[in-house]
Amino acid sequence: MTYPKCGTTWTQEVVWTMRNNPNLDHPKAGAPISARSPFIDSDMLMEMGKEKSKGLMFELLKDAVPDADPNEGIALQLTAHTPDPRTIKTHLPFSLMTPDLLDTAKVIYVARNPKDVVLSFLHHCRLIKTIGYVGSLDQYVDYFVNDLLIYGPYWEHLREAWPQRDHPNMHFLFYEDMKADPKAEMKKLDRFLGTNLTEEQLEKIAHYTSFEEMKKHEKEALQGKNMDTFLDQEVLKKDGGFYRKGQAGSWKDRLTDTDQSKIDIWTKENSLTLGISFKYSI
Ligand code: A3P
């Protein structure tokens, strides 16, 4: 569970690999991530994006469920047919999930500093053709701090998750910590998930899921050969793909002083009441 652009796909790959592919020899490891680890709220996004992405997702579903019904929720059918242990992605906040979620499932919540999130989100909205954002960075920062982006408000999303961080079925993870020491964070995940992996397995998974390695298989991992049809090729060439920079703190090269102070004021107001702080956010 994450607000968008906080490292969801990375965490999905780490968790799916730890649970299903500890020796890096699973025959389906190269299949698209959403076919292995379904994204339950993607039916809603497909309705918004209309036919094209729906068709692509249905292709994934047909591989896993030959008698799938194209008129029913695609992600939900895929989720229902995913073998245990299931690793399910959502960007929905706690308040839109079933109230007994933590009694029935282990939840990993990933958070990331808002300045990197806004840039990553802006890139995403320019890259995905069905979103096709053409406005400025300044305007986008305004949308972000005024809570006008999808899945927002950002702080409300966090506010619903942070107080639950000590629940035995909840694991709270920061993108910045994963970046600083992936193996240490994977050891914590190993204890939380009960996967009992060896040092050597964790070492190899940390390498396999590093930005550089995941970038090599970006097309296959995201939508297979069809990925190019829903990405803006100019944005892709100029600013990068879905895996863009993969860094913590890279906002320093990009955000103007005005944008930084808008986010700083907004962060100060919210993070103090919440009692949460992010590395690389100032
Ligand atoms: P950037 O746009 O800053 O590069 P999500 O999966 O929640 O949409 O998050 C996407 C962000 O996670 C992107 O950030 C992407 O590059 C980054 N990311 C994906 N895989 C990663 C990895 N293996 N290591 C570090 N960052 C990764």
In this structure, of 4-13, 44-53, 193-202, the range with the lowest mean pLDDT score is: 44-53
Alpha-carbon span 67 to 100, nearest angstrom: 31
At 224 the pLDDT is 59
Q: Enter the tokens of residue 101.
A: 């979620």
**Helix boundaries (H) for 100-256:** 101-104, 114-127, 137-145, 154-161, 175-180, 182-193, 199-208, 211-216, 218-222, 233-239
Entry pTM: 0.96
**pLDDT of 226 over the 70 cut:** no
Provide mean pLDDT across the span 238-256: 95
- The pLDDT mean for the chain works out to 93
Q: Is 6 in the pocket of ligand 1 (CB under 6 A)?
A: yes
8 C-alpha to ligand 1 centroid (Å): 7
Cβ of 182 below 6 Å from ligand 1: no
Ligand 1, pocket-test mutation among 3, 9, 185, most atoms within 8 A of CB:
9
Average pLDDT over residues 238-247: 95
Q: Take residue 269 and report the two structure tokens written for it.
A: 């107001």
Asked if the model's pLDDT at residue 52 lies above 70, the reply is no
- CA 243 / ligand 1 centre spacing (Å): 5
Residue nearest to atom 25 of ligand 1 (CA): 246
Residue 54 banded pLDDT, cuts 50, 70, 90 = low
Going by pLDDT thresholds of 50, 70 and 90, the confidence category of residue 65 is: confident
More confidently predicted of 56 and 4: 4
In the numeric block, the tokens 């300044």 are attached to: 138
Ligand 1 atom at minimal distance to the Cα of residue 247: 3
Q: What's the CA-to-centroid distance between 5 and ligand 1, angstroms?
A: 7
The answer, yes or no, to whether residue 51 has pLDDT greater than 70, is no
Tell me which of 3.30.300.20, 3.50.50.60, 3.40.50.300, 3.20.20.70 is the CATH number of domain 91-274.
Answer: 3.40.50.300
- Tell me the per-residue pLDDT of 144-158, one tens digit each, with 9 for 90 and over: 999 999 999 999 999
Mean pLDDT on 74-91: 93
Task: Tell me the per-residue pLDDT of 99-139, one tens digit each, with 9 for 90 and over.
Answer: 999 999 999 999 999 999 999 999 999 999 889 999 999 99
Query: Beta-carbon neighbour count of residue 80 at 10 Å?
Result: 11
Residue whose CA is closest, atom 12 of ligand 1?
7
Q: What are phi and psi for residue 167, nearest 5 degrees?
A: -60, 135
Position 33 scores a pLDDT of: 93
What is the position in ligand 1's atom list of the atom closest to the CA of 120?
A: 2
With 90 as the cut, is the pLDDT of residue 49 above it? Answer: no
pLDDT value, residue 275: 92
Q: Is the predicted pLDDT of residue 225 greater than 70, yes or no?
A: no
Handedness of CA 55, 61, 62, 68 (dihedral sign): negative
Q: Is the CB of 209 inside a 6 Å radius of any atom of ligand 1?
A: yes
Q: Residue 222 is which amino acid?
A: L
What are the residue boundaries of the structural domains of the chain, listed by start? Answer: 91-274
- Percent of the chain scored above 70 by pLDDT? 95
